[in-house]
Amino acid sequence: MAESGLSVQVGLFDCDERRVLGDGAWIDVRAGWLSDDDELFDDLATTIPWRAERRQMYDRVLDVPRLVSFHDLVAGSAPHPAIAKMRVRLNDIYARELGEPFTTAGLCLYRDGSDSVAWHGDDIGRSRTEDTMVAIVSLGATRTLALRPRTGGRSLRLPQGHGDLIVMGGSCQRTWEHSVPKTSKPTGPRISIQFRPRDVR
């Protein structure tokens, strides 16, 4: 397992970079937040304990169209040194505003354009009225992260490339949904790393 230097673009976290979505929801979008680490994708792809899942969809059980790996970073160690360093940096930036640290890392491997995740908001197990944050670091091929308000209205389509970071905060998980849609365009594999506080999945 390669030791990662994990260079991050500190100066990109100016407050004027935040996009206010309305109803208390906001996103921070940071292109190239993680830099100088082109080997990290290959390292994670080969060392993370990926697993396939199946899910009940109405009257059928279907394969989940991506591979996943979930890690409680309080109960155990991070699956890669770079993930531990990302968590430290994100907590340095966001824990005070969030009111608590990020405690878990969920990883998804999108093998090609037919892998996806459907519209959803991350479940807040503590309270349906509570605000929270989810930080997502992308590695590998560029894929679209789509967001739409739950009450209807204009959606957003944000290309997420290698090293990009998006943070969804405030009421975003309650008032907006997000997805990674399938694409028919030829595309390589992508890994997303989702950092969340306790009781958020």
Is the pLDDT assigned to residue 36 strictly greater than 70? no
Residues 125-131, mean pLDDT to the nearest whole number: 72
**Confidence at 54, pLDDT banded by 50, 70, 90:** confident
Closest to 135 measured CA to CA, from 92, 105, 115: 105
* CA separation for the pair 83, 21 (Å, rounded): 28
> The pTM is what?
0.89
| Overall residue count recorded for the chain in this entry | 201
Residue 127's pLDDT is 64
- Domains annotated on the chain, with CATH: 18-196 (2.60.120.590)
Q: SS3 of 180, please?
A: strand
Long-range contact list for 89-98, CB < 8 A, 24+ apart? 89/6, 89/8, 90/135, 90/167, 90/195, 93/13, 94/133, 94/135, 94/167, 94/169, 97/133, 97/169, 98/132, 98/133, 98/169, 98/197
Is the pLDDT assigned to residue 17 strictly greater than 90? no
* CA separation for the pair 43, 160 (Å, rounded): 20
**Residues 148-178: pLDDT tens digits?**
999 999 999 999 999 999 999 999 999 999 9
Residue 126's pLDDT is 59
Q: SS3 of 144, please?
A: strand
Tokens of 58: 């109405």
Residues 1-19, mean pLDDT to the nearest whole number: 53
**Residues 76-124: pLDDT tens digits?**
999 999 999 999 999 999 999 999 999 999 999 999 999 999 999 998 7
Is the pLDDT assigned to residue 4 strictly greater than 60? no
Share of residues in the chain with pLDDT > 70 (%): 88
* Residue indicated by tokens 């994100």: 90
